[in-house]
Amino acid sequence: MAFRGSGRGSARTASVAVVAAAVLGVGLGEAAAQNIFDMLFGGNRLNNSRVEREPVRRAQPEPSTRRAPRVRISSPSFYDYTPEALVRVETEALLDALAAPQPAAFDAAGGRDGFRAAVAGLGPLDLYAEKPIAAALIERYGDNPSFIWVDGHHPNARAEAALRVLGEAQSHGLSAADYAVAVPPAVFRLSKAEERLHALVRFELALSARVLRYARDAHGGRVEPNKLSGYHDLSERPLDLAHVLDVMARTRDSGVYLESFHPQNAAYGALRVELETLRGSQEKAIVVAPDTFVRPGGSDPEFAKILTIIERDADAAFRAEHGATLARHLGSETYDSALVPVIKAAQRARGLNPDGIIGPRTVGALAGESKQARIDKVLLALERLRWHPSELGDPRVVINAAGFRADFIEGGRERLSMRTVVGTKANQTSFFHDEIEYVEFNPYWGVPRSILVNEMLPKLVRDPGYLDRAGYEVTDRSGRRVSSAAVNWGAYGAQIPFDVRQKPGKSNALGELKIMFPNKHAIYMHDTPARHLFERDTRAYSHGCVRLQDPRAMAAAVLDWQESRVSERVRAGHSRQDVPRKIPVYVGYFTAWPDSAGAVAYHGDVYGRDARLETALRKVADVRAPSS
């Protein structure tokens, strides 16, 4: 209904609507603006084609005699992670599967009776596994009751290769204890042949269970990301576990096949190299007081340590330009003016605002974190990469919210890398991947429901005509234009039956363009009039969307255009251009992340997600600890 009616019936309906909305209001999780009244930013709720160009209707709303209750649309929340429980692999279930009728040709081979007899004498199995793995064991050995890992009376070469990979799980940031299997002794007495057969069957089932756990972990991670929070939205990556065992039974090199489940991309490889390097490093940390603050001309004993760190970490290009200056001042506690270019270059190299002032942020970036802290971040990055497709695609866009950067990668290298502004801690940028579809020039900004309710509604209840004066368009659910002043904004609670959008222009929250990969979070990349925020080192100021430092360059890259062509389209007014090729976009959160050359940069945990993932991983380890 576009307008509030008059009379007791309408008033009664409006009152009911207020109460119902207050009780039933739910969060929609949309990304949006930083400051709704002066620098707006956010999602795209309105399809522009629905607007009918008809005269704006104006009517006086009936004055509200009650103060409307305050309603809010809540942001996504974090969850108390519950790991996957283990179940016992039941001998009885396996025997039942073995007793099922099989093709005559298989019975004639005589294999079923021998394997069944071995299982029948086992008694209860002391083997626990995740439910899908336990089911896959019953399925595979029920359909094909033959050994994969045993030849005669001993583990075979296939088992040795698999055990070797399981034992090297730490090189992938996994825990070898999760995949440990007891191997029967190599020597046994003939009088113990029956016991030996039972030991081999137990070994067979246990190794299959741990191989499947390893394959599952490598393929999709140990933690289910969507159980961490409402900000995580990654599609499941199913794996046919019974088929994995069938392939294992046929493959010549089980180790190579098992390794193939890990992500097959350059970023994962670079993180593994970084992990190995850190673990083997004998570096001695140079500890700098975190509250150190030194301006040019100032003096501080900690400043000498800063110079030592810069000299230690300098690459060839840095030494060529600044090495002589550094050498002359090493050991000095005074910040000489000649060192200002050196400090600025060091800040710039670490993605900081190059202001030449030594403060806590610069100290943290230069002195870095402890070796163990960096190892921990690499381990979490490896886990998060397992939630993504193994092959990331080329070209692709990678947005790392923790690093406040967006990269366009093509031909295996970073063609573009730019600063971003991402969501605040209260309105976090989600973790998901999608595909870029189109670029919109001089876009409308559809005000997300969360912004309308949480930030605009209190003002609109007091001043219903605000949107008319501020240049916004209001439409009802039929797409008809209505006057903001004609709406009784306090009558609907969170269920406001109107859409609001801001027209294109210099003051538009989205600036010149937006790059769309439509998703339920209403997150996308776009321009912004608030250019000053890109100069800050920590750039978590939006309601979730990703503001780009150089939006025209990114638009040109995804459209495969010259940047001049993008500029022409911006000058031409409102329009849309579909992206002509498949470009996946990864909106991620990595506190350790490599560039295309393999150099790993470390970032702060602005959203506190590292600690939550670490807790989830500990819970998984605790559940798995008693298994055998």
Q: How confident is the model at residue 351, as a pLDDT?
A: 78
- Would 385 be classed as within a structural domain? no
Q: How confident is the model at residue 482, as a pLDDT?
A: 93
Domains identified in the chain, total number: 4
Q: How confident is the model at residue 191, as a pLDDT?
A: 53
In three-state form (DSSP H/G/I as H, E/B as E, the rest C), the secondary structure along 548-607 is: ECCHHHHHHHHHCCCHHHHHHHHHCCCEEEECCCCCEEEEECCCEEECCCCCEEECCCCC
Q: Are residues 550 and 593 in the same domain?
A: yes
- Would 68 be classed as within a structural domain? no
Count of CB atoms within 10 A of residue 457's CB? 22
Query: Where do runs of H (alpha helix) occur along 191-339?
Result: 193-220, 241-250, 254-259, 266-280, 301-313, 316-329
322 touches 343 (CB < 8 A): no
- Would 21 be classed as within a structural domain? yes
- E strands, 330-444, are 396-400, 405-410, 413-423, 432-435, 438-441
626 touches 126 (CB < 8 A): no
- Fill in the amino acid letter for 558: V
For the residues 358-380, what does the mean pLDDT come to? 90
Cα separation, 449 vs 494, whole angstroms: 8
What percent of the chain stands above pLDDT 70?
85
Model confidence at 376: pLDDT above 90: yes
Q: How confident is the model at residue 15, as a pLDDT?
A: 40
Q: Is 412 exposed, middle or buried (0-12, 13-18, 19+ CB in 10 A)?
A: exposed
Model confidence at 43: pLDDT above 50: no
Cα separation, 60 vs 192, whole angstroms: 96
- Would 75 be classed as within a structural domain? no
Cα separation, 472 vs 495, whole angstroms: 19
Cα separation, 94 vs 139, whole angstroms: 8
Q: Are residues 496 and 605 in the same domain?
A: no
Model confidence at 389: pLDDT above 50: yes
CA 602 to chain centre: 16
How many CA atoms does the CB half-sphere of 161 hold within 13 Å?
A: 16
For the residues 74-96, what does the mean pLDDT come to? 92
Cα separation, 205 vs 184, whole angstroms: 13
Q: Are residues 145 and 257 in the same domain?
A: yes
- Choose from 99-103, 121-125, 186-190, 566-570 the range with maximum mean pLDDT: 566-570
- Fill in the amino acid letter for 565: R
Q: Identify the weakest region by mean pLDDT among 52-56, 277-281, 361-365.
A: 52-56
Model confidence at 612: pLDDT above 70: yes
How many CA atoms does the CB half-sphere of 9 hold within 13 Å?
A: 1
Model confidence at 409: pLDDT above 70: yes
**Average pLDDT for the chain:** 85
440 touches 49 (CB < 8 A): no
- Would 382 be classed as within a structural domain? no
193-220 vs 157-167: helix crossing angle, rounded to 10: 50
Q: Which of 383, 397, 494, 423 is nearest to 69 (CA)?
A: 494
Q: How confident is the model at residue 102, as a pLDDT?
A: 52
Q: Are residues 129 and 103 in the same domain?
A: yes
Q: Is 100 exposed, middle or buried (0-12, 13-18, 19+ CB in 10 A)?
A: exposed
* Confidence grade of residue 101 (pLDDT, cut at 50, 70, 90): low
Q: How confident is the model at residue 106, as a pLDDT?
A: 37
* Confidence grade of residue 460 (pLDDT, cut at 50, 70, 90): very high
3-class DSSP state of 347: helix
Q: How confident is the model at residue 113, as a pLDDT?
A: 58
Q: Are residues 594 and 519 in the same domain?
A: yes
Q: Are residues 486 and 558 in the same domain?
A: no
Model confidence at 26: pLDDT above 60: no
For the residues 559-580, what does the mean pLDDT come to? 97
List the domain range (segments joined by +) for residue 311. Answer: 301-369
- Choose from 210-224, 340-354, 469-483 the range with maximum mean pLDDT: 210-224
Q: How confident is the model at residue 587, as a pLDDT?
A: 98
- Would 430 be classed as within a structural domain? yes
Q: How confident is the model at residue 316, as a pLDDT?
A: 87
- Would 45 be classed as within a structural domain? yes
Count of CB atoms within 10 A of residue 90's CB? 15
Q: Are residues 599 and 545 in the same domain?
A: yes
Q: How confident is the model at residue 350, as a pLDDT?
A: 83
256 touches 247 (CB < 8 A): no
Q: Identify the weakest region by mean pLDDT among 20-24, 222-226, 474-478, 560-564.
A: 20-24
Beta bridge partners of 414: 409
Tell me the pTM: 0.80
Q: Which of 521, 448, 447 is nearest to 73 (CA)?
A: 448
147 touches 204 (CB < 8 A): yes
Q: How confident is the model at residue 474, as a pLDDT?
A: 94
- Fill in the amino acid letter for 104: A
- β pairing state of 540-542 and 413-423: parallel
Q: Which of 279, 101, 259 is nearest to 165 (CA)?
A: 259
Q: Are residues 598 and 558 in the same domain?
A: yes
The rounded radius of gyration (Å) of the Cα atoms in the chain is: 31
For the residues 579-592, what does the mean pLDDT come to? 97
Q: Identify the weakest region by mean pLDDT among 446-450, 529-533, 558-562.
A: 446-450
Q: How confident is the model at residue 627, as a pLDDT?
A: 52
Per 3-state DSSP, the chain is made up of helix, strand and coil in percentages (nearest 5) of 45, 15, 40
Q: Are residues 262 and 163 in the same domain?
A: yes
Q: Which of 310, 372, 316, 363 is nearest to 341 (CA)?
A: 310
Beta bridge partners of 474: 482, 500
Model confidence at 72: pLDDT above 80: no
Q: Are residues 258 and 124 in the same domain?
A: yes
- Would 486 be classed as within a structural domain? yes
For the residues 296-304, what does the mean pLDDT come to? 94
Tokens for 596, please give them.
């295309």
Model confidence at 38: pLDDT above 50: no
Q: Are residues 30 and 135 in the same domain?
A: no
Q: How confident is the model at residue 368, as a pLDDT?
A: 78
Cα separation, 59 vs 311, whole angstroms: 71
Task: Render 518-542 in DSSP notation, one character per residue.
Answer: --TT---EE--S-GGGGGSSS-EEE
Cα separation, 118 vs 200, whole angstroms: 9
Cα separation, 38 vs 587, whole angstroms: 27
Cα separation, 266 vs 127, whole angstroms: 37
Peptide bond into 395 cis (omega under 30): yes
User: Who wins on pLDDT, 274 or 7?
Assistant: 274
Query: Per-residue pLDDT tens for 493-530?
Result: 889 999 999 989 888 899 999 999 999 999 999 999 99
| CATH number, domain containing residue 421 | 2.40.440.10
- Choose from 19-23, 104-108, 344-348, 417-421 the range with maximum mean pLDDT: 417-421
566 touches 379 (CB < 8 A): no
Peptide bond into 101 cis (omega under 30): no
- b/e string for 200-221 if b means 16 or more Cβ within 10 A? bbbbbbbbbbbbbbbbbbbbbb
Model confidence at 464: pLDDT above 80: yes
Cα separation, 25 vs 72, whole angstroms: 7
Vertex 74, ends 73 and 77: CA angle to 5°? 160
Model confidence at 387: pLDDT above 60: yes
Q: Identify the weakest region by mean pLDDT among 70-79, 323-332, 339-348.
A: 70-79
Cα separation, 429 vs 76, whole angstroms: 10
How is residue 169 annotated by DSSP? G
* CA dihedral over 392, 397, 399, 405, signed as positive or negative: positive
Q: Are residues 39 and 140 in the same domain?
A: no
